[in-house]
Amino acid sequence: MDAVSGRLMFKAALGLINLVFVLGIGLFGSAGTLRFVEGWVFLGLFAAASLAITIYLARTDPALLARRTQAGPVAEKERSQKVIQGIASVTFLSMVVVPGLDHRFGWSHTALPVVVVGDALVLVGFLFVFLVFRKNTFTSSVIEVTAEQRVIDSGPYAVVRHPMYAGALVLVAGIPMALGSLVGLATFPPFAAVIIWRLLDEERFLLARLGGYAVYRQKIRWRLVPRIW
């Protein structure tokens, strides 16, 4: 790893530490205790999977890692996406805050097998994201089209048009279960709605700016779930 890649890795690692810290504050702060085993297991899995992908990108695709480090409402160039990302950030944080409150007040009780399934969904979601990164080096955190960008229609993109979002939805669907909270599942529909809003706006953007995307849209009918939508 050269000096440039090292600096990029350092920047990405700082971003990851900040994200894990915010999730930890939201989770354990709402739980009112650090004695939350499911919380520690989830946070450890989330951090480990994120770090593994970060290291992989630093070694194999620094350009993609650089694109991924610019994220959030401020980084977005489209006004609509700034709004969408702001709402997405709030809904994502709610997916750890509500289970934390559930842990504190005992609103629901979840069997261990459900927690294990939740952790498995989190890991499967990360696997989907990793496969997307391997196939598409243009997977930026913000909605944009670069000069050299082209349409990717193989790998997961041969199944659905937005495999990155599909993986993200699998991941976040597992979070409440991984945290032992059935009540927390109520936070999934709002997050899913924001993701759908984002991808529809992204398609509008790509149709106007990315050559070949209209043809790709006709070729691959399904957006998120094969044979459903």
195 vs 190: CA distance, rounded Å:
9
Q: What is the pLDDT of residue 145?
A: 79
pTM: 0.89
Residue 229 within a domain: no
Query: Average pLDDT in the 156-163 region?
Result: 92
DSSP letters for 175-189? HHHHTT-SGGGGGHH
Would you say 177 and 117 are in contact if contact means Cβ atoms under 8 Å apart? yes
Q: What is the pLDDT of residue 128?
A: 93
Residue 117 within a domain: yes
- pLDDT band at residue 7, thresholds of 50, 70 and 90? confident
Would you say 77 and 143 are in contact if contact means Cβ atoms under 8 Å apart? yes
Residue 227 within a domain: no
Residue 228 within a domain: no
For residue 121, count other CB atoms closer than 10 A to its CB.
19
Collect all residues with Cβ–Cβ distance below 8 Å to 51 and sequence separation of at least 6: 13, 16
**Domain span including residue 37:** 3-219
Question: How does pLDDT run across 87-139, given as a tens digit for each residue?
Answer: 989 999 999 999 999 999 999 989 999 999 999 999 999 999 999 999 888 88
Q: What is the pLDDT of residue 223?
A: 94
Would you say 173 and 165 are in contact if contact means Cβ atoms under 8 Å apart? no
CATH number of the domain to which 123 belongs: 1.20.120.1630
Q: What is the pLDDT of residue 75?
A: 62
Specify the number of domains making up the chain. 1
